Structure 1
Amino acid sequence: MENLQGKRRRKEITGIIAGIAVLILSFYFLGINLHFFRMTPEDLGKYLDVKWIILLHIAGGAVALITGPFQFWDRLRLRNKQLHRRLGWAYCAGVFVSSSCAIWLSATTAFQVNWAYAFSLHVWIGVWILSSHIALMAAIKKKFVLHKEWMWRSYIATLAFVVSATLLKLPVVQQLGTFAEIGPSFFWLGWAVPMFLYEVSRSYKARK
């Protein structure tokens, strides 16, 4: 019994550390994009004509990024279900706003880079919206095991842009080529690889 409690405690601590790390990365990513809110032509660049779209995209994404980790905190879910639900609705609202804006951006400004970049964004947005929708419907139907699985997939998609954009800022990555040349590959990497690793983890746990 003590050993089981110890494992649960270690699992919770590991989860908290991972959640804090994700939040730090998210705040870093949001911080480097705050310049858009100055709304000057220099800061907005190619987004000048769609400034409200990009600002809503960032704001909605910020809500989803920050509320997401709390959805996986079992202690919060068990002790305060009402707060868990409210944060869940806030997460869904953030995804809805940000993904809706992302559809517009991927169909307009993304093509200024190239079609491969625009296509990679279209696929990512589709995965993001669909996984979030399935997670929400599962919660409404009280299929909570299924809900948790799809919430993981949804949040992996939420983090994809952060992961890709952060990697693309690394000097060693930038040496590989221009943004137009390597950007699409890294945006595929941002969600496809983590999603695959999640499925491998699920399969491994199912075998135990």
Structure 2
Amino acid sequence: MATAIGPLVLGPFQFWTWLRVQHPLVHRTLGKIYMIGSFFGGLTALYLGLSIDLEGSKVPLFLLSCTWLFMTIAAWITIRNKNIAGHRLFAIRSYALAMVFVFLRLIGDIPQDKLFFFIKSPEIRDTTLEWLSWIIPLLTIELIYSWIPLLSNKKRQTRRA
């Protein structure tokens, strides 16, 4: 959690249009700090995924860390290639994965026997919570930024003869 504090705090400022437009140097500096925090947060999650004693948490934590690291690195690569639209989308995904710690805390406070009343095994409930803690935020971002725009896109595709 400590390694993710930087990205959690800096993320909202990075998405603030006024800051990006009026103070691009501040945006870049905060972005570098965000990337370093996300890198350490992702590596910490990777370490936890490899070493945690809870069997049901190993795979979800490992995949969360790999996905978070990928999204952060992809955001950096796309901005280096001057692909601002791609950078924005990868940065949003990276931030959603950083927010997993907050999301897990929020849904973790709900008694699991109430949340997952249909699952009898406490171990399976824990594993389900681990998976949902990062799958739901990521799928929500995909729904908002990828799937819904594709469904509402009214451009017609032209076929080449």
TM-score, normalised with respect to structure 2: 0.82
Q: Which residue of 2 aligns with 1:88?
A: 31
Corresponding residue number in structure 1 for 2:149: 205
Structure 1 residue 174, shift from structure 2 partner? 4.8
- The answer to whether structure 1 residue 79 and structure 2 residue 22 are counterparts is yes
Tell me how far apart the structure 2 counterparts of residues 139 and 178 of structure 1 sit (CA, whole Å): 45
In 1, Cα distance between equivalents of 2:43 and 2:74: 17
Partner AA of 1:95 in structure 2: S
d(CA) in 2 for partners of 1:199 and 1:128? 14
SS at match of 1:170: coil
Indicate which of 113, 120, 132 corresponds to 2:54.
Answer: 113
User: SS of the counterpart of 2:103?
Assistant: helix
Task: Kindly report structure 1 stretches of 4+ aligned residues shifted beyond 6 Å.
Answer: none
The Cα shift of 1:96 comes to 1.1
Alpha-carbon separation, structure 2, partners of 1:145 and 1:119: 31
User: Which residue of structure 1 lines up, in the alignment, with residue 93 of structure 2?
Assistant: 153
Contact 1:128–1:154 under 8 Å retained in 2:
yes
1:179 to 1:143, Cα distance in 2 relative to 1, 3 A: farther
Q: Can you list the C-alpha shifts for 1:129-152, whole angstroms capped at 9, x where unaligned?
A: 101110111112211110001111
Give 5+ residue unaligned stretches, structure 2: 154-161
Q: Hey, what's the Cα distance between the residues in 2 that align with 1:101 and 1:193?
A: 21
Name 2:69's counterpart in structure 1.
Answer: 129
Cα deviation 1:27-82 (Å, max 9, x = unaligned): xxxxxxxxxxxxxxxxxxxxxxxxxxxxxxx3321011111111111111001001
- How many residue pairs get aligned? The number is 147
Which of 40, 46, 55 matches 1:103?
A: 46
CA contact (8 A) 2:7 2:37 kept: yes
Residue 106 of structure 1 contacts residue 121 of structure 1 at CA under 8 Å; is this kept in 2? yes
The share of aligned pairs that are identical, in percent, is 24
Aligned-residue offset at 1:205: 3.1
Assess if the C-alpha contact under 8 Å between 2:48 and 2:61 holds in 1: no
Closer, same or farther in 2 for the Cα pair 1:96/1:179, shift >3 Å?
A: farther
Q: Distance in 2 between matches of 1:179 and 1:161?
A: 21
Counterpart contact for 2:45–2:64, Cα < 8 Å = no
Unaligned runs of at least 5 residues, structure 1: 1-57
Corresponding residue for 1:193? Answer: 136
How many angstroms apart in 2 are the aligned matches of 1:120 and 1:71? 27
TM-score (norm 1): 0.64
What is the CA–CA distance in structure 2 between the aligned matches of 1:107 and 1:98, rounded to whole Å?
Answer: 14
Displacement of 1:179 after TM fit? 6.2
